[in-house]
Structure 1
Amino acid sequence: MTSNWTKSDWRAKPRIQMPDYTDAAALAKVEEQLAAYPPLVFAGEARRLKAELGRAARGEAFLLQGGDCAESFAEFSADTIRDTFKVMLQMAVVLTYGAKVPVVKVGRMAGQFAKPRSAPTEVKDGVELPSYRGDIINDLPFTPEARIPNPDKMLQAYTQAAATLNLLRAFSTGGFADIHRVHSWTTGFAEEDKAAAYRDLSNRIADALDFMAAAGVHADEIESLETVDFYTSHEALLLEYEEALCRIDSTSGLPVAGSGHMIWIGDRTRQPDGAHVEFCRGVQNPIGLKCGPTTTPEDLKVLMNKLNPENEEGRLTLIARFGAGKVAEHLPRLIETVKAEGANVLWVCDAMHGNTVKSESGFKTRPFERVLSEVREFFACHREAGTVPGGVHFEMTGKDVTECTGGVRAVSDEDLSLRYHTACDPRLNASQSLELAFLVAEELSANREAARKAG
């Protein structure tokens, strides 16, 4: 795959959605520093994730990918990481119970700092400035100084990512993720909003653990019940950062992106001859590819061949993001393309990015019912095609924000201003995330029942 590839080849390709740094010497200094730092993740971890994603593509596991739209320097804290991790554990328990298969847990964390923008500039009160592109590039305040791309921010992003990974690894293996704690994985909202359903599920798990103990199978002797594998992912948008953290795997001698276990290419940067595809095709990590309404069968054929020429299982995840009411119009043709090519891919539903609207109060939001609808449409298309709906991809947080309308708590347009904290896109709050997990579990259970009857 990489015999004709080097990690800097992307620099000769057309680049979009990336900043133009004004101080070339400062940028070169930062890149040199990052290149000397330890990688954030390791090749063996990426290989293990690839194998797990391969199982998900076969229907033997299910991918839960979620986290912040764009990580913030200002809101970085241990509590924020813990709360998002806890909600993902809750969602994973619900999904495991519904699907009766392992759930692969991948956070949009420890690297999700850069964001593509719909326009290179924005205008306020007649003043035009460069768009905010995430804390790794520039700052949110609407001032000329804040919007200048600053390469030093890559160093702060690396430090925050390293600290986040350190805490996630501690949570994953240090007892916090022990299945015996299933009752304690709450974040306050579980006193209401799906509380009864979650408590009932928790009680059934506790009963199963008690039965195992009575039968002589002690759960504390089974490592998989006391720890979890938790991986990180982000959009590989800022390629100077990605190149600086690219490493050679000492086991295979092949290049690996050291910035995260899984990286993905956005719908705006998936040009077959563009810089982002060029970089991602050469690293051995699992690669995600966002597929939107403008993705054509020909585009997909070329991209699958470039990104996964050996047709490896678990290498390529296709993340569908069309918008509610549009899935049946666009997804079937891509499914048929994959079938015709005999391609090994994992199909995942991103029900967030196609459902962003402007509220009457002026906030960018996502109606929860539209998110639910797109998930249902995704599963329906795969049932019709006889293919595997292998995962879901959400922007969510463990915090009690009011950014997406709807849900059991019925967040209204008027409520958005109460706790609208995102710097970029609206996120599901903890309650909405758990509600969504129950819906996905119902779909997975229905799929399993349909397969049982058919078989």
Structure 2
Amino acid sequence: MNASGKYSWQSLPAAQQPSWPDPEALRAAVDELSAFPPLVFAGECDQLRDRLAAVARGEAFLLQGGDCAETFDGVSAAQIDNKLKTLLQMAAVLTYAASVPVVKVGRIAGQYSKPRSNPTETRDGLELPVYRGDSVNGLAFTPESRRPDPERLKRMYHASAATLNLVRAFTTGGYADLRQVHAWNQDFVANSPAGQRYEQLAREIDDALAFMKACGVNPDAFHSVEFFSSHEALVLDYETALTRVDSRTGDLYDVSGHMVWIGERTRQLDGAHVEFASKVRNPIGVKLGPTTTADEALALIDRIDPGREPGRLTFITRMGTGQIRDRLPELVEKVTASGARPVWICDPMHGNTFSASSGHKTRRFDDILDEVKGFFEVHHALGTHPGGIHVELTGDDVTECVGGGDEVLVDHLHQRYESACDPRLNRSQSLDLAFQVAEMYRDY
């Protein structure tokens, strides 16, 4: 692949890009970013593609989760620790119950940009640019904060580097030992009303670990985990600056993260985001909402995965609980009939958002769970593999989504509503979801 191929998107319409007020400042920031070291390496991206190929074949399950939108203030050991800990706990439950490897991918170390429905917002007669994530502007509703600033792209790079450094230390330094992760789950089961429903499954995992210990089994896989980073490739100037030619193969890789995805608002076949994704060798995800047609899905495969390479393309369906059972079957059926084998995973968050009477944007836990159930039902009926889930979550005890075993009520939303954008599952709700998905997989 010629290095100039990474710029081919620039001749096409690019949705959801910031209106940078100073083109020279943008050019200077992009030039600096282009000289920065990679955040991830091409070989790691290839490794994730191999793991996703196993998911596509029905031999593994993908757990992808993390913040709706990361913030620069959120780059702390405690917050990263809590997110990672929650994802590892979910993965431990799913691994045992599904009896397949769980590929662990975080919405982390790059998820600083968000698509928005409108370019501006108005409060008390003042119209300002909408908040597009910390990579672009600030959340505070002031002209200074909301002015898009390309210097923030460099801050995103450094925040992502710091996050990845902590993640790598946590996942390889003994912190992620399976027995320790299971002890965290035991704590959840013992002390949470939601967790107590899963005592039997937790006891089974405990017995399995005790049996292996008695047999002298102590595999290296117990002590560390593979963990990959992902984010939406939204701000194309940033993604292009971090796209490099691999010295081994001459291929282009977006070294801002192991996996990048295209959102529902930017998946236009003739648009810049699909063009950019078609040029890099990373595993690519595409969000598919309820308006997606089978022909569009097939055309996306032709553009992004013309070689039908297992693990290259992941379809992340976000239909909403009311439409998943009606809209998904035709997509899966026609894509499967074409011979393509993308990874199919369910994003049960984005199709189930509503505004509470308090004015908070929220989601019902029961709607999230029901969309996952519908996803499993469709794949079961078609004989295809429900490859995984994609969720917005935090390891903190926030009150952003209503319901769950430790029920959050609408009246509780104001207590700890901390998201910079969309509502996330808290730790208890995330683990509740993992145990219930584990039970679904057992029944599948």
TM-score by length of 2: 0.97
Name the CA distance, whole Å, in 2 between partners of 1:85 and 1:264.
20
Q: 1:239 aligns with which of 214, 236, 239?
A: 236
Runs of 4+ in 1 over 6 A off after TM superposition: none
State the secondary structure of the residue aligned to 2:344.
Answer: strand
Aligned partners of 2:345 and 2:386 also within 8 Å:
yes
Identify which range, 312-321 or 193-202, moves more after superposition: 193-202
- Residue 262 of structure 2 is aligned to residue 265 of structure 1: yes
State the secondary structure of the residue aligned to 1:123.
Answer: strand
Aligned to 2:62: 63
Paired amino acid for 2:126? V
Identify which range, 91-100 or 4-13, moves more after superposition: 4-13
In structure 2, runs of 5+ residues without a counterpart are: none
Residues 239 and 188 (structure 1), Cα distance of their counterparts in 2 relative to 1, 3 Å cut: farther
Residues 31 and 183 (structure 1), Cα distance of their counterparts in 2 relative to 1, 3 Å cut: same
State the secondary structure of the residue aligned to 2:418.
Answer: coil
Name the CA distance, whole Å, in 2 between partners of 1:310 and 1:183.
40
Aligned partners of 2:52 and 2:311 also within 8 Å:
yes
Aligned to 1:91: 90
Residues 187 and 211 (structure 1), Cα distance of their counterparts in 2 relative to 1, 3 Å cut: closer
Aligned to 2:364: 367
Aligned partners of 1:187 and 1:430 also within 8 Å:
no
1:427-438 to 2 correspondences below 5 Å: 427-438=424-435
- Residue 221 of structure 2 is aligned to residue 224 of structure 1: yes
Aligned partners of 1:68 and 1:397 also within 8 Å:
yes
Aligned to 1:451: none
Aligned to 1:185: 184
Aligned to 2:284: 287
Aligned to 1:163: 162
Aligned to 1:317: 314
Name the CA distance, whole Å, in 2 between partners of 1:203 and 1:445.
16
- Residue 355 of structure 2 is aligned to residue 358 of structure 1: yes
Deviation digits for residues 111-146 of structure 1 (CA, Å, limit 9, x no counterpart): 000000011111111221111000000111111121
- Taking every aligned residue pair, what percent have the same amino acid on both sides? 53
1:30-429 to 2 correspondences below 5 Å: 30-185=29-184, 191-196=191-196, 200-215=200-215, 217-219=216-218, 222-429=219-426
Name the CA distance, whole Å, in 2 between partners of 1:171 and 1:199.
27
Aligned partners of 2:97 and 2:438 also within 8 Å:
yes
Q: CA deviation at 1:165?
A: 0.4
Name the CA distance, whole Å, in 2 between partners of 1:184 and 1:253.
45
Aligned partners of 2:3 and 2:244 also within 8 Å:
no
Aligned partners of 2:75 and 2:162 also within 8 Å:
no
Q: CA deviation at 1:205?
A: 3.2
Report the RMSD for the aligned CA atoms in angstroms: 1.6
The alignment covers a number of residue pairs equal to 443
Paired amino acid for 1:59? G
Paired amino acid for 1:313? P
Name the CA distance, whole Å, in 2 between partners of 1:69 and 1:412.
21
Name the CA distance, whole Å, in 2 between partners of 1:318 and 1:329.
17
Aligned partners of 2:97 and 2:439 also within 8 Å:
yes
In structure 1, runs of 5+ residues without a counterpart are: 448-455
Q: CA deviation at 1:183?
A: 4.1
Name the CA distance, whole Å, in 1 between partners of 2:46 and 2:227.
13
Name the CA distance, whole Å, in 1 between partners of 2:367 and 2:43.
38
Name the CA distance, whole Å, in 2 between partners of 1:5 and 1:184.
51
